[in-house]
Amino acid sequence: MKGDGASGADGVPALPPARHFGPQRLSNTVWSFATLSFRDPPLLNATASAAIRKIRHWHVQELSNTAWSYAKRGYLHCPLLNAIAAAAIPLMQEYVARDLSNTAWSFAALSDPDGPLLAAISSEARAKLAFGDPQALSNTSWAFSTLLVTHRPLMESIAAQALPRMQQFDEQACANTAFAFAALGLWHHRPLLNAIAAKAIALIAEEEGGLGAGGQPRCQFRHLLDTLGQVVAWNAAEERWAAR
């Protein structure tokens, strides 16, 4: 009996061409594959081409999820990123803190320093990071520092929001934030520096048997030890600067 849908040579029902997918289906498809750590270049190229043609009709969540999905798989598709940036900027007021953070992280992970997009994210994030969680704060700071983009008002806002919430930071958030401020040479944030160091030390102390065989740090401690290394480097840099 003939079925309703077409079938491939192996009898598996064939998927409709990507051009027939709506924005949510396209976004959900690449998000699902990225979440499953599955990297399929033909699929990514097909969804990118379809997305570019329709992206002016996309909503914030679809733009943010698609950027994150390609970054998660480490798949740089410049035309798609350019299209996402162009579509995102006019919608920036609709972005929440997590979407802003994810978008900044995605472009940084793919080493794409889109100036107008980053400027728009910086402007919007300063008002919305107060409603973000530690991951949003740390990922945003990491993204800008990774791209070596210093938006001082943004970093000042991140420092102001992070300091009173340091007890909520995990090892990844501590490491990302310490790296960001050190990489950008923002040595004057002494209270934040001290708070990150204290939190990192407390997290290490909370764990039993922090060192594995041969005295080597276990994986979960590497971020914390890296954080303390950033703190030491940060202190040394500040002292050299003050001695000039």
Residues 167 and 236 in one domain: yes
Residues 138 and 231 in one domain: yes
Task: Write out the residue range of the structural domain in which residue 37 sits.
Answer: 22-94
Residues 135 and 38 in one domain: no
**For residue 5, what pLDDT is reported?**
35
Residues 238 and 127 in one domain: yes
Q: How many domains does the chain have?
A: 2
**For residue 223, what pLDDT is reported?**
61
Residue 146 in this model has a pLDDT that exceeds 90: yes
User: What is the arithmetic mean of pLDDT over 93-118?
Assistant: 96
Contact 87, 116 (CB under 8 A): no
User: What is the arithmetic mean of pLDDT over 79-84?
Assistant: 96
Three-state secondary structure call for residue 114: coil
Cβ neighbors of 30 (< 8 A, separation 6 or more) are 43, 44, 47, 65, 66, 69, 70
Facing residues of 69 across strands? none
Residues 45 and 141 in one domain: no
User: What is the arithmetic mean of pLDDT over 95-117?
Assistant: 96
In a domain, 102, yes or no: no
Alpha helices in 23-133 (DSSP H): 23-35, 41-54, 60-72, 78-88, 97-109, 115-128
Q: Is the dihedral of CA 97, 31, 175, 171 positive or negative?
A: positive
In a domain, 49, yes or no: yes
Give CA–CA dist 36/197, Å, rounded. Answer: 34
Q: Does the pTM of the predicted model rise above 0.85? A: no
Residues 89 and 150 in one domain: no
Name the phi and psi angles at 7, rounded to 5: -125, 150
Residues 199 and 132 in one domain: yes
Who has greater pLDDT, 80 or 187?
80
In a domain, 193, yes or no: yes
Model confidence over 121-139: pLDDT tens digits? Answer: 999 999 999 888 999 999 9
Contact 43, 25 (CB under 8 A): no
**For residue 26, what pLDDT is reported?**
74
In a domain, 106, yes or no: no
Three-state secondary structure call for residue 187: coil
- pLDDT tier at 171, thresholds 50, 70, 90: confident
Query: How high does pLDDT run on average in the chain?
Result: 81
Residues 88 and 138 in one domain: no
Q: Which of 129, 136, 138 is nearest to 195 (CA)?
A: 138
Using the 3D structure, point to which of 94, 112, 136 is the last residue of a domain.
94
Residues 81 and 136 in one domain: no
Residue 65 in this model has a pLDDT that exceeds 90: yes
- pLDDT tier at 35, thresholds 50, 70, 90: confident
Residues 144 and 225 in one domain: yes
In a domain, 13, yes or no: no
**For residue 25, what pLDDT is reported?**
76
Residues 57 and 127 in one domain: no
User: What is the arithmetic mean of pLDDT over 65-73?
Assistant: 93
Contact 107, 67 (CB under 8 A): yes
Three-state secondary structure call for residue 211: strand
Residues 131 and 88 in one domain: no
Three-state secondary structure call for residue 133: coil
Model confidence over 189-228: pLDDT tens digits? Answer: 888 988 988 888 888 777 655 544 455 544 455 666 666 6
Residue 109 in this model has a pLDDT that exceeds 90: yes
